[in-house]
Amino acid sequence: MPKWLNPRSWYGLLLAPTDAAMLYLAIGVVHYLRLGYWYREFDWQLGAIVVVVLTSLYVFNVYYLDRTGQPARTALRAFAAVAVSGAMIASVVYVTKSTDVSTVLWRGNLPLGLFVFALYAALVRFLGQSLITRFSREPRWLVFGNGQRTGQLVTDIRQSPSGGEAILLESMGDESRPVTISAHAGGLRISRDGETLFDGRVEGIVIAADQGLPDPVVSQLMRVRLGGTPIMDIADFYEQYLFRVPVLQLRDGWFAMSEGFALLHHDIQLKAKRLIDLAAASIGLVVLSPLLLLVAALVRLTSPGPALYSQTRTGYGGRAFRLRKFRTMVRDAEKDGPQWTSTDDPRITAFGNLLRKTRIDELPQLWNVLIGDMSFIGPRPERPDFNKTLEAQIPYYDLRHLVKPGVTGWAQVMYTYGASVDDAKNKLEFDLYYIKNYSLALDMYIALRTVRVVFSWAGR
């Protein structure tokens, strides 16, 4: 499994093919009971129905179950996902009169089959979520270290989406009085001079000490690790479990020696990414042209001013370019100079708020992708005025300009909208993770996550 894929995504990887088989079976059984025979051959329309329903389940986010979820709410979302997709399918089927050529789509077969599957999908999610909520434990990490970066690590663990508990042991003792570390059936026991400092289960140990650990402690940690307990330094932990690169915790040497960053020097990957961008942008502009024209007209009708808005942004290599968006703010929104967008910003129009939530305001950037200013996936481009401030306050901020900026990116799907220096620092950590761990599979995953953001109106 790719390291950027959350371990609990395995539930989704198991549920998706099971859902496909059960949906096919549910409609098939209804068909058999009503007409007395099974499908004579695979019906491509039924295959399309399976794809639409599974996509709806993904958009409603019922392929990710964790210990913080509520069983009843998860089951209700699953049922609603099937109902919504069923209504969409029915609107197409019965308008095009596809029932004339396929018995699978008859009014008695399709709705009843979808209803049976909806009950199944809801029941499976309710049971699965109940089991995970009851038996899944909050991950507990033992942190060795002290200082500012250790405190930030503890905060980031506790605020991570999957939650977690960080137990901090600030002192490992000196060479004459080191701690004693031993493993037992219930986890780890750490003591010093007969006093127990910690005794219990842990997911692993994170080394965040500013100074080197005493040699006796290192020897004991080696035995613990060989016994099966994960032990990693602070940078590896951020990358493997929080999916980000901690800029405040690193030095130049880490960037010089760490593996990854293949996108920066792999010519074949760069060309393949560009070809995908060209094809997707060309197709997108053609297919979405009616929507683009409609949105442009609505922007003009709902507020005074032009439909499109262009703004200077910093792109690849620090070069400036003009980014295009549908206008979502009132005219002359920045007559007093550049400023961060705030929550419930009064400058955003009512229709503009809808465009932001659905990310439709970003669609004109397909032109930026087509002409090579941007890529579909990458760090979001920032304004030069803000870049100067951020580069002065955040280490390694300029590294995000090593790749083309994107319409969407890892930071956009992993972090909430940012409107401060601290938010920019957090988003940079996700951007650097993307640059370091780039792959076509990661791009596809980000694209899927973006689709869910669009349909769940989670944008801003």
- For residue range 152-209, list pLDDT tens digits in order: 888 888 887 766 788 888 766 666 677 888 888 778 888 888 788 888 888 889 988 7
Q: Please compute the mean of the pLDDT values over residues 125-131 and round it to a whole number.
A: 90
Q: Please compute the mean of the pLDDT values over residues 213-238 and round it to a whole number.
A: 87
Say yes or no to pLDDT of 260 above 60.
yes
Rounded to whole angstroms, the Cα distance separating 237 from 363 reads 36
Beta partners for 144?
Answer: 169, 207
User: Among residues 120, 94, 124, which one has the least CA distance to residue 25?
Assistant: 120
What string of DSSP letters covers 181-242?
EEEETTEEEEEETTEEEEEE--SEEEEE-SSPPPHHHHHHHHHHHHTT--EEEHHHHIIIII
How many residues does this entry show for the chain?
460
Say yes or no to pLDDT of 100 above 70.
no
- For residue range 60-85, list pLDDT tens digits in order: 888 887 777 789 999 999 999 999 99
Q: Looking at residue 460, what is its pLDDT?
A: 56
Residue 296 binned pLDDT confidence (cut-offs 50, 70, 90): very high
User: Among residues 80, 174, 170, which one has the least CA distance to residue 121?
Assistant: 80
- For residue range 1-13, list pLDDT tens digits in order: 566 666 566 677 7
Mean model confidence pLDDT for the chain: 84
Domain ranges of the chain: 9-135, 140-242, 263-455
- 207 DSSP assignment: E
Q: Looking at residue 288, what is its pLDDT?
A: 93
Q: Please compute the mean of the pLDDT values over residues 127-139 and round it to a whole number.
A: 84
Say yes or no to pLDDT of 36 above 90.
no
Say yes or no to pLDDT of 40 above 90.
no
What is the dihedral angle through the alpha carbons of 442, 261, 229, 210, rounded to the nearest 10 degrees? Answer: -130
* Among the ranges given (33-47, 111-125, 212-226, 250-264), the one the predictor scored with the smallest mean pLDDT: 33-47
- For residue range 313-359, list pLDDT tens digits in order: 999 999 999 999 999 988 877 776 667 776 677 888 889 888 888 88
Say yes or no to pLDDT of 297 above 90.
yes
Say yes or no to pLDDT of 97 above 70.
no
Q: Where are the alpha helices (DSSP H) in 9-43?
A: 9-35
Q: Please compute the mean of the pLDDT values over residues 226-231 and round it to a whole number.
A: 88
Residue 304 phi/psi, 5-degree rounding, is: -65, 140
Q: Which fold has domain 140-242?
A: Rossmann fold (3.40.50)
Q: Looking at residue 24, what is its pLDDT?
A: 86
**For residue 76, what are the CA distances in angstroms to 18, 81, 180, 455?**
19, 9, 50, 17
Q: Please compute the mean of the pLDDT values over residues 379-387 and round it to a whole number.
A: 90
Is the separation of the CB atoms in 247 and 394 below 8 Å? Answer: yes
Rounded to whole angstroms, the Cα distance separating 121 from 75 reads 7
Q: Looking at residue 315, what is its pLDDT?
A: 93
Q: Looking at residue 177, what is its pLDDT?
A: 73
Is the separation of the CB atoms in 293 and 287 below 8 Å? Answer: no
- 348 DSSP assignment: B
Is the separation of the CB atoms in 415 and 445 below 8 Å? Answer: no
